Structure 1
Amino acid sequence: MSNNEIAFFIGLFGSVHCIGMCGPLAFAVPVSQNRWWYVVADKLLYNTGRVITYTFLGLLIGFVGKQLWLYNLQQGVSLISGMLIITAGFSRLFKLQITGLKFTPHLLKPVNRLLQYALQHRAGHLVIGLLNGFLPCGFVYLALVGAVNTSSPANAASYMFWFGVGTFPLMLAATISSGFVGPVVRRRVNRAMPYLMVCLGFWFILRGLNLDIPYLSPAKQSSSVGVCR
């Protein structure tokens, strides 16, 4: 399975969680008209805005990943990423509080202010979607960890684009139908997500070990950076 396919499925499964977290914001944005095609167009713009922001974040994190690849540190990063993801998965399974993240509300203030301003001035679904993509979300962080393990900003942007595409179908359907996925389904998927996180974390560790297993743990590629010929 390729990196982009992994990103797509993270987005697809994580979008059930996103409906509960980001759905109310999408529902709060008034549609331009009540006709169904206007509703669909507005929700398409909202979700397109999210995907654009995710792609932009991937591009930014990709510059970090590129430096890691240039200095031949990607193996260690993959191992550390895997351990962090497994830790996060176990913390959700056993309901452990690892850190309070007390700084999060301060980071949220600028985005919340922009969102309030955009809603008050009817900035439109595209702008709301763009801003919504910057809100902290565990699954976005999970996707960004995967993106930083890619070899270039373009690959990282592609990774986050496919993550966003994965969130697109369910979020679009939910925002159009005002949340057709009920709380029971969301609870079941949310219960399954820690297991997915643990599996993904082990995959990152295996990839970092370079065991020469095709697709699962490919052999380490030799780097020619800094070699004079």
Structure 2
Amino acid sequence: MSTMEIAFFIGLFGSVHCIGMCGPLAFSIPAFHHQWWRVILDKLIYNVGRLISYMLLGLLIGLLGRQLWLLGLQQGVSILSGLLIIGAGLSRMLKFRFAQSRSLASMLQPLNNLIAYALQHRAGHFIVGILNGFLPCGFVYIALVGAVNTGTTSGSAAYMFWFGVGTFPLMLVATISSGFIGPVLRRRINRGIPYLMVCLGIWFTLRGLALDIPYLSPAKQAGGVAVCH
């Protein structure tokens, strides 16, 4: 499975979580039209806005990843990324919750105010979608960890693009139908997500270890770049 395919599936499975976390915001955007096709177009535009935000985040994290790659730290970054994702997955399995930082909440307040202002003044689905894309989300963080491991700004942006595409189907249908996935089914699917996170973390860790296992843990070239067989 290629890196971009992994990004897509992270987005696809993570979108179940997104419906529960970001769905209420998407559902709260009023419909300005009565024709069904214009309502669908509005929701499509909203999700395109999210996708653009993810790509912008990918470009930013890609600049950091490129510098790390130039310093020859790609293996360490991959291993650290994997361990962080494994830790996040295990914390969800064990139902361990980190205390919410007040400083983080205060930092996000301007963004929350912008979203509230956009909703009150009918700024449009596109603007609200862009703003929503910058809200903190565990699966966006996981995707960014994967993006930084691509080592280039273009690769990082492409990674976040495919992550966004993965979130598209469920989020689009959910915003149109006001949440077609019931809470019981969503809880059942969410129970399996931590296991997916641990598997993903193991993959990043093995990739960084360069054990010369085809596709899973490619060998490291003399120049410091892992080779996919």
* Band the TM-score falls in, shorter-chain normalisation: over 0.9
1:101 alignment partner in structure 2 = 101
Residue 21 (1) aligns with residue 21 (2)? yes
- 2:75 is equivalent to residue 66 of structure 1: no
For residues 51 and 102 of structure 2, the distance between their equivalents in structure 1, rounded to whole angstroms, comes to 28
Q: How far is 1:175 from its partner?
A: 0.5
Judge conservation of contact 1:15–1:171 (CA < 8 Å) in 2. yes
1:8 corresponds to 2:37: no
Equivalent pair of 2:72/2:224 in contact (CA under 8 Å):
no
Aligned residue for 1:152?
152
Q: How does 1:176-195 map to 2 (within 5 A)?
A: 176-195=176-195
Match for residue 80 of structure 2? 80
Q: Distance in 2 between matches of 1:171 and 1:157?
A: 20
Instruction: Identify the residue that residue 205 of structure 1 maps to in structure 2.
Output: 205
Query: 1:97 deviation in Å?
Result: 3.0
Structure 2 residue aligned with 1:89: 89
* Offset, 1:220: 1.4
- CA contact 1:47–1:168 (8 Å) conserved in 2: yes
Aligned equivalent of 2:168? 168
Unaligned runs of 5+ in 1: none
Query: Does residue 138 of structure 1 match 2:123?
Result: no
Structure 1 length normalisation: TM-score?
0.95
How far, CA to CA, are the matches of 1:179 and 1:21 in structure 2?
12
**Is residue 72–residue 223 contact of structure 1 (8 Å, CA) maintained in 2?**
no
Which of structure 1's runs of 4+ aligned residues deviate more than 6 A?
none
After alignment, is 184-193 or 213-222 more displaced? 213-222
For the residues of structure 2 that align with 1:49 and 1:168, how far apart are their CA atoms? 11
In 2, are the aligned partners of 1:74 and 1:149 still within 8 Å (CA)? yes
**What letter is aligned with 2:85?**
I
- Distance, in Å, in 2 between the alignment partners of 1:63 and 1:8 is 21
The one-letter code of the counterpart of 1:62 is: G
Deviation at 1:79, TM superposition (A): 0.6
Structure 2 gap segments, 5+ residues each = none
SS at match of 2:213: coil
Does 95-104 or 37-46 show the bigger shift? 95-104
Mapped contact 2:4–2:159 kept (Cα < 8 A): yes
Amino acid corresponding to residue 122 of structure 1 in structure 2: R
Distance 1:216 1:187 in 2: 30
Match in the other structure for 1:223: 223
Q: Distance in 2 between matches of 1:82 and 1:128?
A: 32
Q: Percent identity?
A: 68
Match of 2:53 in 1: 53
Q: CA deviation at 1:88?
A: 0.7
If the length of structure 2 is used for normalisation, what is the TM-score? 0.95
